[in-house]
Amino acid sequence: MTGNIYLTGFMGAGKSTVGRLLAQALGRRLVSLDQRIVRRARKPIPEVFAQKGEDAFRQMESNELAKLAGEKGLVVDTGGGAAVSQANRKLMHESGRIVHLDACLDTCRLRLGPHEVSTRPMWQDADAVERLFQARQEAYADCDLKVEVDHLDAEQAAQTVAAGLLGVEEFPLELEGKLCLVHSSWEAAAALSEVVKGRRVVLLTDRKVAALHGERYRRVLGDDLLITLPPGENSKSLKTAEGVYQQMLAARIERGDMLLALGGGVMTDLGAFIAATYKRGIDFLLASTTLLGCVDAAVGGKAAVNLGTAKNQVGCFTQPRMVLLDLQALATLPKSQRVEGLAEAYKTGLVADPELARLCQEDMDLLLNGEVLGLAQVVRRSVRAKAGVVGQDFREGGRRAILNFGHTYGHALEGWHRYRLGHGQSVAGGMLVAAALSAQRGLLARDQAESIFRTVKPLLPADLAWAPADEAWEIMLDDKKNIKGKVRFVLLKEVGAPVVVDDVTPAELATALAQAREV
């Protein structure tokens, strides 16, 4: 999914403008094949044609394309003629996906404008332009995605391309006999229309998310009750829940109505808790707009609020009607939030999906920089892997414990920092410690441990203060995952083969921590 996106189309189809907007939407870099040739030749393209001929220009075009094919995460404006070469198309298919912007000749002429048409000699001969246009159609048809752009402006075309590249993925998740549909797409809000038809829906979100994404959801939901809260962990409380209950009562929300929680993990946890307890339970939907929420909180069936600084102390297991993974929202996340989600996704890969772990290891730099197609692939694999584990052990009585890889020391680190260190970064630190423990016990091969170290290191602050082993141990003694007072760690025998142990000693922890600090 991190392969290049190659835009093809006739002159005036909109490749450069749509390409710029598409690159912005997907967190990619836009490259113009023509501009690379201009820089290489140090002269405008008409001069290259005039002095060296079209064959020489096409060879330069192929040479530059071959160089770009060795990179990842680009949107490439290929110009009007590069796709005519079958060898070029083969190279593009092998290194990414070809998207054809299909426009009729009149649209191309209109978008170029009178001035540009008048400066291009070819456009002075209408028959010659028509012949060239028709001659290229067979080559243009050799594409992975065709978007008809005659009736779309550039922004609409870019959004249509993004939606087409990402597609729609759905799967049913069954927990304790109850089905939940998990849906992911670029236009996730539109998937609500059939689910909410004929029912009142409370939209619960925070003010930041409402400003960024609320309008997309309001277009589907209409003017039902909107409740916005301050962003952040402080909203995840019984006091906040009581305030929401009061607003719902005042609006005469009934048991036959629904609640949609829109946002990250705080909002989906809180919304699920409120829906599960209001009038003994109403149907609810979760729409996750953060990477951490998509890969962790949205699928798991947990609902909870905090008691003071004690996280998730009051809650229940419950199940939404539908989970929406809003891939468009991933494009709006700051890097700090991408770090949070990638740590949890990589953790899931290490214990439950080796292919997901490999994706994170190979493309971590692109993912951290916000490459949306790659992030979407991580989200989809992570959710399916977690759903597979949760489906076997909904109430956390056995196998689900493997999802706590990195969480034992990670939670202690988070608490030691008084929750000023992000959850994902805390778990990343915990993964280093768990990998070091696994290696020093002879469970995990040294090269696999080193690979984990290399992948996790970019997720951590360079100046991270590590909780000392003795202080972390005291915090871990109060971990809710403990059984009969024994601290439990999830270790690895290999990627995809976790094991839960309860005999790690404070001395072992100190040794592993010392190694983690040196990574």
- 3-class secondary structure, 181: strand
Q: What count of Cα atoms within 13 Å lies in the side-chain half-sphere of residue 201?
A: 25
CATH class of this structure's domain 167-333: alpha beta
With CA atoms as reference, report the closest residue to 340 among 288, 302, 276, 384.
288
Residue 35, pLDDT score: 93
CA distance 350 to 360: 10
pTM of the model: 0.91
pLDDT of residue 308: 82
Domain 4-165, classified CATH 3.40.50.300, yes or no: yes
Concatenated DSSP letters for 428-439?
Answer: HHHHHHHHHHHH
What pLDDT is attached to residue 309?
Answer: 72
Q: What is residue 473's predicted lDDT score, i.e. its pLDDT?
A: 96
Work out the angle at residue 482's Cα, subtended by the Cα atoms of residues 337 and 457, and round it to the nearest 5 degrees.
35
DSSP per position, 367-414 = HHTT-HHHHHHHHHHHHHHHHHHHHH-TTSSSGGGGGGTTHHHHHHHH
3-class DSSP state for residue 471? helix
Q: Is 255 exposed, middle or buried (0-12, 13-18, 19+ CB in 10 A)?
A: exposed
Of the candidate CATH numbers 3.40.50.300, 3.20.80.10, 1.20.1090.10, 1.20.140.10, the domain formed by 387-518 belongs to 1.20.1090.10
For the stretch 234-270, pLDDT in tens is 999 999 999 999 999 999 999 999 999 999 999 999 9
Question: Which helix (H) or strand (E) segment is 277 a member of?
Answer: helix 265-277
Q: Does 4-165 match 167-333 in CATH topology?
A: yes
DSSP class per residue in 32-62: EHHHHHHHHHTS-HHHHHHHH-HHHHHHHHH
**Can you give the pLDDT at residue 121?**
65
Task: Classify residue 119 as exposed, middle or buried by CB count within 10 Å of its CB (0-12, 13-18, 19+).
Answer: exposed
Supply the pLDDT for residue 178. 82
Q: Give the start-to-end residue ranges of the domains of the chain.
A: 4-165, 167-333, 387-518
DSSP 3-state of 241: helix
- pLDDT at residue number 433: 98
pLDDT value of position 119: 66
| 15 contacts 81 by C-beta, under 8 angstroms | no
For the chain, 519 residues long, give each residue's pLDDT as a single digit of tens.
789 999 999 999 999 999 999 999 999 999 999 999 999 888 888 888 888 888 888 999 999 999 999 999 999 999 999 999 999 999 999 999 999 999 999 999 999 888 777 767 678 788 999 999 999 999 999 999 999 999 999 999 999 999 999 999 999 988 777 888 999 999 999 999 999 999 999 999 999 999 999 999 999 998 889 999 999 889 999 999 999 999 999 999 999 999 999 999 999 999 999 999 999 999 999 999 999 999 986 677 789 998 887 778 899 989 999 999 999 999 999 999 999 999 999 999 999 999 999 999 999 999 999 999 999 999 999 999 998 888 776 666 678 889 999 999 999 999 999 888 988 999 999 999 999 999 999 999 999 999 999 999 999 999 999 999 999 999 999 887 888 889 999 999 999 999 999 999 999 999 999 999 998
* Cα maximum dimension of the chain: 86
What are the residues whose beta carbons fall under 8 Å from the beta carbon of 512, sequence distance 6 or more?
433, 434, 436, 437, 440
CA distance 39 to 34: 9
